[in-house]
Amino acid sequence: MTSHIASVPAAIRRAAFVLVSVCLALSGLLGAAEAPPANGPLADAAALYDVWAAEQLAYHGIPGVVVGVVSGGKLAWAKGYGTTDLAGGVPLTPSTPFRLGSVSKVFTATAILQLRDAGKLRLDDPVVKHLPWFQVPTPFPDAPPITIEHLLTHTSGLSREAPFPSWTTHTFPTREELKAAMPKVGILSPPGKTYRYSNLGLAILGEVVVAASGETWAGYLSKHVFGPLGMTASTGAPTKEQIATLPRQHRRKQADGSRGTLDYYDTGSFAPAAAVISTLGAP
């Protein structure tokens, strides 16, 4: 989107920072969206985006997108484009729920920092202090232990994924299976030395939340993060009814222009890295 927005006059770009988010967790936090002014920079930007979004959806064969403009800490404007399914579906709106994918990591990190503030952990704690089963072989015997901060900053040296073909099969390990797999997990660099994005690291952080709080990961988020923020449409453990309201998952576009679809899949012990669902606007 950046290359297109760059062509918009600077005054409009400053006035309207468009958050293109199929899955931005702002439910309740920013309140209901208001209609843009009848004229002025925001109205101009909204009109321009209407034209651009419609063209992009048609050209790329995208099912839809929900966008919002935040101004002064409030959701000033939001709108859905397209539908929940290329084969039909219903129109998207700011209250349409989406799976947030990796934005879920933000909430897991928030939980960790809350627990730090509550004195239930320190960021420099070795992970094994909270998870005695976190015994990972290392080729770096003189390296420091992996800490909570290493997991938060993706500098633990852990591989990106656990030793499961989860993103191919869409079958994810249970918590017990994840624990049992630790001897097969590799450390690819000394902790603290190299940035390496790791879904595995966030799955482990979710287990730290459980150990330090005495609550489930999803239960902790509901009680201590989503609840206080008024994010009533947000959850880390969606019910069957909530899952049924999600837009259809589409695969990437193929050379012939087609897009396959996917059924919803449970991310199991990797929920802290990928499972939250939410909406852009209040339900």
Q: Which positions are annotated as active-site residues?
A: 102
Which residues have CB under 8 Å from 98's CB, separation 6+? 22, 23, 66, 246, 247, 277, 278, 279
- Ramachandran angles phi, psi of 4, nearest 5°: -80, -45
226 vs 240: CA distance, rounded Å: 20
Instruction: Take residue 174 and report the two structure tokens written for it.
Output: 């249970």
Identify the H or E element spanning 51.
helix 41-60
- Listing DSSP states for 195-238 in one string gives ----HHHHHHHHHHHHHHHSS-HHHHHIIIIIHHHT-TT-BSS-
Burial of 121 (0-12, 13-18, 19+ CB in 10 A): buried
198 vs 156: CA distance, rounded Å: 9
122 vs 192: CA distance, rounded Å: 16
Identify the H or E element spanning 77.
strand 74-85
